[in-house]
Structures are given as structure tokens and as C-alpha cells.
Chain A
């Protein structure tokens, strides 16, 4: 009897924990499908590609809280001509022609209720490499979340680099 209760209890715990992990994974899909199957690797690291710097497209990371997603007009600056008949570029061109923007799905974000006021600008100024927080996006064919932005993770880095860990640095 006693063992049965214990086993049942254990089963429930395992079930709950498993469900928690499973749904957590679903809650923030690590590599969501994007409206356009954009390939970072092709743009960044592929030897025969254009080998762009991150900041070429995410151009405001050093000036703004947001790194920003490029305006479709920036994509079209090259793709007007470059690979204009590839199926994904055709999709892109159609969006551009409608004067719209692709509805990209976010990979990294903070919940609004976390009250985090993160800004890229000071991190870039401090020389933090993009990959430290975003993983090696340049080698990915589809962007996948490689780093979990928990508060502990933020604090570890702040401590290592002897940056203030005052609450008011991020929360206000």
C-alpha cells in the first residue's frame, strides 16, 4: 500500500515535470518557422556568400535598445537582382511590392511582465560579441535559440565582467 502510494506520487511528479519541460519547450519554440526561410549561414559564414557582418542588417544595435530587424527595402537592395528567382526571394519580393514587412517570428525576447529594460547599445559598447547572447547564428540555416536568457544567466556575465548587478540596471 505504502509503496503503491509512493509509486503513484512519483509517477505524478514525473508526469508533471515531463509535461512542464515539454510544454515549456513548446511555449518558446527554439527554432520557429519563419515567413521566409531566411538562411543566416548563407549570408554570414558561407565562403562564397556575401559574408556580412551582423551589424550590416541589424544596424541599430550600437545606437538603440533594439538591434532591429532590417526593413525589407534593405533585403531588396541586393535581391532586386541577386537570386531574384529563388522561391524564397520571390516571396520576399511579393511582400515588398505590397509595401509590407515580413511578419518575422521572434526568437529572443523578455516577457513584458519581467519588466526588463534591456538595451543592446551598452552591450555592444562594452564589446560583448553577438554570439555570446545569441549563439552562433551565423552558422545556422534557420535561427535557433541557443541561449536561455534567464536572470541568473544575465547576472553571471555581469559578475564576471564586474558590471553592476543593481536591480535598477535592468528593472525600473
Chain B
């Protein structure tokens, strides 16, 4: 009986109250929970080590379980990536596991496609249905109509899926990259020793939110700011909108959209002209770099020349300067040169493979190399950044979709998807893509799966992190690798031979034992390696990269030769850029354009679409914990918003909280305005993540999806804003504290 009820009932009469109390006391039924079994003692916490999968960073986690239920996730204090810390997203992981909108078991479509009618089926039937479809497709000689679409991770699920499809005869495997923000001026597996840097110059790299490995860099940032016995590091951030990372900078440079490269070149020009370069030799320039002098470029970037000159001097004369850059500065706006010039700044201050500088991991290895390598070289991995183009008019397709949600990320693809022959979805949740599927083979969540990942750590080389089940699924789901294994048994022949394993668990355990055979193993015995891996959750090779004895030149830094710059002094031609990129090994994707798409007169503003720290690519929007977490910069909860500079808002007659229409060439959306002091007057911004049309009770119908305007990998489009008359609710976290609290010293 509840206390309130008791108070109410005492008014009615003590007898009846006790009578109510007598009926079926729930505590009586708890006895089975008090009986220990082989695996647990009631009332005792059991901690299980695994790896977070809420973003690709691969932080180590420990999960507190009691009586077979998980009740808290914490960072693994021993793990080299996150040393016990964990971000807001990682903390919310249990709501993925225990989400009420999880798909409970395999289902097949009962009504029309997209109607939302489903029939529950058994796993045997689900596997047979998919096997029949694949057999039928192959019999018609169209094996390459079958496409496996997954994200970019080298997960055991993706690798087993790839192998299956290759053996089956499909021609390619599509990877639809999730948001993954990193520094493209360098190749993969480069880390930045932020903790020991003394001056940090960041070009759009939101390392406290979404860039690379946010917890690793947050830890490093803490040390950068306050380490006893050392001066406080200075941090300058370049970005048109003040992100959470920019808000933590000592100086924020709101450079115009797409001019980050020009800012970097301006700083480089000052360093060179004032003879502050520490590089052994300076490159020869095809074009005088003087054209990018801060004095000449100030109009373009919007950054006063004297400010940039001062920063250049500070940067070049700092004890350990470091420049970092986001992939996003190159996405869709100014070509691909921005990040290259940021890398060049590091060359000028000569910080490669040095304390506080750019570090590179040595001896890359893949724990699955022996077990799950490609069967032949002809097999292709296609980065389907332009997914709509890839599947346009392909009604013959049989799509196997895993871990990605193209119907949300590129909403224009919905009609194309509706037209394809067959869709099998492996999603754990009903999402926009799964809604259009014919067959659902629901995957386990990361807390019920097996996997090995290779996370990047600043401090340690060669880390392997283990994902292992911390609880048994309460629902009838299966790990996708296991489904592919079952599917291969059903189809038989070459396909079956290609996957000589019984389960994902077996693959992981064998891969773990193989770790012992690597030259840098710490234990000689495979079983010891495995035991330590399951207990601690990660495996670490014995050397660290900070004291690398053989320095490796990062791949893409323009070293001896300065690449050419286009004839107009602005963006280089496409051919030039592509040639350059090829030489530098930079990964090319998307359209090249010199500015935001759209007509400048009709659409005077740049609409910036950014990845918000908690929702990521939108797959976190179904977690109520994160929906009710106020956005750190705007305090908005449970919805979308558009950020507008106060001056621009005043000109347009828009007040904070007003509903506005944001219009681009692709249409218009209604969204509440947040008057935001930290954004350029010519820029407005909407975060990704909301605006789901079919993603469970917490996300569906909430806010808007800016991907409607643009494929998600482009950063900006041109837009205009007008005040709207329709009401739209803006929910913000409120406090009655006075606006400013200044504490006395």
C-alpha cells in the first residue's frame, strides 16, 4: 500500500485500509528472486565489462547487474580510451536495452508495404523466407541484385554479412556511413595529443561533443586546462556557429561558412612571412600564399586581420601548438581544401610524433583478419554516400539493411525504397526503413551481443575492446552474425563453406585467442588472453605510441610540395582538387561546390545542419532520457529548433520562441526559433536527430528532420526564414535562478 493511499484511507476507516493491505502483498511473491542460482547471489552487484556502441569511439564500459537485470552503465576505469569516464549518450545505453519499442521477435509484413501490419513468425520461418528469396533471386541469374547495406564499422555482423553476400554472388556491399566526424587532413588512426598541447587551434572540430572520440578528448581537454604545475592551455575555435566546444574556447572565431581553409592559410601566411616556421624546409608555392594574407582575406572570412595575425603569432610561438580539423569543414561547401590547410599548420610548427602534437598509431592490424578476410579482391565496398542515386530505378533489388536507416537519413529515398523488390531489415527497433520492410530479423542490442572493436586511444597503441553480452535478451532477437550463419546453413554449398563458424561468440573467442599470437601480445597463452579480455573488457598491445621510435609522417600533410591553388585565388578546380586528394589519399565523397546550394537573392541565409551531441544521426531520439536532456546550448528539450542571430531575428521581426518557416529550394518546415547570440548573422542552424516519422513512442512526430533539405553529408544549404502564424511548442528547461550569478573571489 502506498503512503498516499494510506493517508486517504485513514479518513475512511482503519479497518478498510487494513483490509486493502491484506490482499496479495506483492512482497510475498518475491521469494523466487531471493533464491541464488549458479550465476548470482541475490542482492549482490555483478559488474560486467563490455564496449559502448552509442557512437563509434569504442569506450570501455562496465555494467552493473543484479538478479539478471542491468541497472547502471559506467565507464571502465581501466580502459585506455575513456579511463572510467562516459558521456551522456553512453550513460543512456540501458534505455536501448530496455526500450519499450524494441521489436520482440521476427516478423513478416501482413498488409501493404509501409502499412504497419505485421505477423509474428518463428526464427526458422524468418530464415527460410529470406533464404528462399535469395535462392529465387540467384536462380533467376540476378544474384547481384541482392545488396547488403550496413554502416562503416568492421563489426563482426558486418564482416560475416559481407562474407555471406560475397559467397552468395552479390557484387558489392554498401556502407552507408553514419555520422562520423574526424580529421580528414590525416589518414585514419591518427590521434592528437591534446592533453599535452599548450595552444590548440580547432577548425570546426567539436571534440567535446561528436568529433572522433569525445570522451578521450574531453579527458585530454581537462588535463589541457588544469594540470597542476603547468600553465593553462589556450584554445581558439573556428566555426560559424558557437557549438558546445566553441563555447569552451578562450576565443571563438566565427569565420564565414566554408572559409576555414582561408583562415588556416592566413595563419600560415603570417607564420611564413614573419619567419616563425619551425619546419625543416618550406614548400615551393605554385601561387603566392600572400594572396591569403589576413589583410586580404578579412572580407571573405569576416575575421579582422589584426586578430588573425595575433593568433598566428601566439600559435607559432607556443611551446606545443596543435591544429585540428573536422570533416565537416569540407562537406559540401568550399571543396576539399579546408582540412588540408589545417594539416599544413601542424607541418609549419613541426609537431608530428611529438608530445602535444599529432600522433600516429603504428602497425595497424585487424583482429578478424585471419578469420573473416575477403574471399577475393573483386569484392567491393561501396560508400553509398549518395544512396538515393545508388538505388534509383533499381526495382530488382533485394536489400538486406543492417544498422542504418536510409529512409530517415535521406528521406527522399522513401519512394525508391517502396519500389524495390524485397527488403529485409535487421533493426532492433521499428524505424523509418524497417517500416517499409517485408521481413524483420531483429538484432540484439550491443548489451546482448559479441564483438571486437579497435578503438583509438591517444595513450596506447593497438587496443582491442570486447563487446560481450551483459544480460540475456528478454525478447526473441538474435545477433545478425548468427542470423547470417543460420542463413548460410539453410542455403548450403559454397555459402555454408565460406562461414565455418557456429556463432558470433565462437568467432570472437577465436579472434581473441589469435591476439596472443601477435608479436606484441602480453600473454603467451591464448586462453589467458581470452580470460583477461572477458574480465577486463579490452586488450592492449605492449607499446605506446607517444614514445614511437620510428616517427611516421602523417599521410596527408602537404610536406615538401605545396599543392596548387586554383587560378582565381579561391577554390581550386574540381580536377585539381581531385588530383590533389588522390595524391594525399583523402577520401572523396559527395558533390563539390564552392558554396551553399541555392539562389543567393531568394535565400539570403546559410542553413547549417549539425550533429547535436546527444542524438547523433537520429538513432538516439527514441531514448526518453536524452529527449528530456536540455540541449546544453539552447536548453531545448523534446523537439527541434532553429538558431538565429539576434540582429537577424530583429530585422525579420522574430522573437525568441516564435514559430518560423525555414524555406529552401527543397521546401519548407515549421520550427520554433531560438534567438541565439552565438551564430553569424548570415547563418541559421538546425540540429539533426529529430523529425522521425516512425521510430517508436518517444521519437515519432517530434520536431523536424533537416535531412529533408539535403542529403545528410552536406553541411549547409541556402535558406530564408519568415515568421509563421501557426503555433509550435518550444519546450525549454527552466530555472527561476537570477540570470547571472557571479561569485565573489
The answer to whether residues A106 and B19 also contact, given A64-B41, A68-B36 and a CB cut-off of 8 A, is: no
Chain B: which residue is nearest A110 at the CB level?
B27
**In the complex, chain A residues whose CB is within 8 Å of the CB of B21:** 27
Interface residue from A19, A64, A106, A109 paired with B15 (Cβ < 8 Å): A19
Interface residue from B1, B6, B18 paired with A20 (Cβ < 8 Å): B18
- Verify A103–B32 contact, CB threshold 8 A: yes
8 Å CB interface, A70-91 against B: 70-72
A36 to chain B, nearest CB (A): 12
- Verify A112–B27 contact, CB threshold 8 A: yes
A117 to chain B, nearest CB (A): 10
- Verify A24–B27 contact, CB threshold 8 A: no
B21 to chain A, nearest CB (A): 5
- Verify A16–B35 contact, CB threshold 8 A: no
- Verify B41–A63 contact, CB threshold 8 A: yes
- Verify B3–A60 contact, CB threshold 8 A: no
**Is B228 close to A, CB under 8 A?**
no
**Is B42 close to A, CB under 8 A?**
yes
- Verify B28–A105 contact, CB threshold 8 A: yes
**In the complex, chain A residues whose CB is within 8 Å of the CB of B18:** 19-20, 23-24, 27
- Verify A111–B1 contact, CB threshold 8 A: yes
**Is A153 close to B, CB under 8 A?**
no
- Verify A68–B42 contact, CB threshold 8 A: yes
Chain B: which residue is nearest A108 at the CB level?
B27
**Is B14 close to A, CB under 8 A?**
yes
Query: Of A70, A101, A119, which is in contact with the most chain B CB atoms at under 10 Å from its CB?
Result: A101
- Verify B31–A69 contact, CB threshold 8 A: yes
- Verify A68–B41 contact, CB threshold 8 A: yes
B24 to chain A, nearest CB (A): 11
**In the complex, chain B residues whose CB is within 8 Å of the CB of A70:** 35
Give the A interface residue count (CB, 8 A).
Answer: 30
- Verify B37–A71 contact, CB threshold 8 A: yes
Give the B interface residue count (CB, 8 A).
Answer: 26
- Verify A105–B31 contact, CB threshold 8 A: yes
| Cα A107 to Cα B30 with chains together (Å) | 12
- Verify A113–B1 contact, CB threshold 8 A: yes
**In the complex, chain A residues whose CB is within 8 Å of the CB of B26:** 112
**Is A163 close to B, CB under 8 A?**
no
- Verify B15–A16 contact, CB threshold 8 A: yes
Q: Say whether chain A's binding surface is mostly helix, strand, loop, or mixed.
A: loop
B25 to chain A, nearest CB (A): 8
- Verify A69–B34 contact, CB threshold 8 A: yes
Chain B: which residue is nearest A119 at the CB level?
B43
Contact mask for chain B residues 44-79; partner A; CB cutoff 8 A; 1 contact, 0 none:
100000000000000000000000000000000000
**In the complex, chain A residues whose CB is within 8 Å of the CB of B666:** none
Chain B: which residue is nearest A15 at the CB level?
B15
**Is B22 close to A, CB under 8 A?**
yes
**In the complex, chain A residues whose CB is within 8 Å of the CB of B37:** 71
**Is A1 close to B, CB under 8 A?**
no
**Is A26 close to B, CB under 8 A?**
yes
B230 to chain A, nearest CB (A): 40
Chain B: which residue is nearest A109 at the CB level?
B27
- Verify B31–A104 contact, CB threshold 8 A: yes
- Verify A23–B19 contact, CB threshold 8 A: yes
A22 to chain B, nearest CB (A): 9
**Is A65 close to B, CB under 8 A?**
yes
The answer to whether residues A20 and B15 also contact, given A71-B37, A105-B31, A112-B26 and a CB cut-off of 8 A, is: yes
**Is A66 close to B, CB under 8 A?**
yes
- Verify A106–B31 contact, CB threshold 8 A: yes
| Cα A72 to Cα B31 with chains together (Å) | 13
- Verify A106–B27 contact, CB threshold 8 A: yes
**In the complex, chain A residues whose CB is within 8 Å of the CB of B1:** 111, 113
**Is B13 close to A, CB under 8 A?**
yes
Contact mask for chain A residues 19-38; partner B; CB cutoff 8 A; 1 contact, 0 none:
11001101110000000000
B247 to chain A, nearest CB (A): 36
- Verify B31–A23 contact, CB threshold 8 A: no
**Is B307 close to A, CB under 8 A?**
no
Interface residue from B28, B32, B43 paired with A64 (Cβ < 8 Å): B43
Contact mask for chain A residues 100-130; partner B; CB cutoff 8 A; 1 contact, 0 none:
0101111001111100000100000000000
- Verify B3–A101 contact, CB threshold 8 A: no
- Verify A60–B36 contact, CB threshold 8 A: yes
A15 to chain B, nearest CB (A): 8
8 Å CB interface, A6-20 against B: 16, 19-20
**Is B2 close to A, CB under 8 A?**
yes
8 Å CB interface, A46-78 against B: 59-60, 63-66, 68-72
| Cα A20 to Cα B16 with chains together (Å) | 8
- Verify A69–B30 contact, CB threshold 8 A: no
Chain B: which residue is nearest A74 at the CB level?
B36
Given contacts A27-B22, A71-B36, A109-B28, 8 further A-B contacts (CB under 8 A): A16-B14, A16-B15, A20-B14, A20-B15, A20-B18, A103-B32, A112-B26, A113-B3
Some 28 contacts from A to B, beta carbons below 8 A apart, are: A20-B14, A20-B15, A23-B15, A23-B22, A24-B18, A26-B22, A60-B41, A60-B42, A60-B44, A63-B41, A63-B44, A64-B42, A64-B44, A66-B43, A68-B34, A68-B43, A69-B31, A69-B35, A70-B35, A101-B32, A101-B35, A103-B32, A106-B28, A109-B27, A109-B30, A111-B25, A111-B27, A113-B1
Interface positions of B (Cβ within 8 A of A): 1-3, 6, 13-15, 18-19, 21-22, 25-28, 30-32, 34-37, 41-44
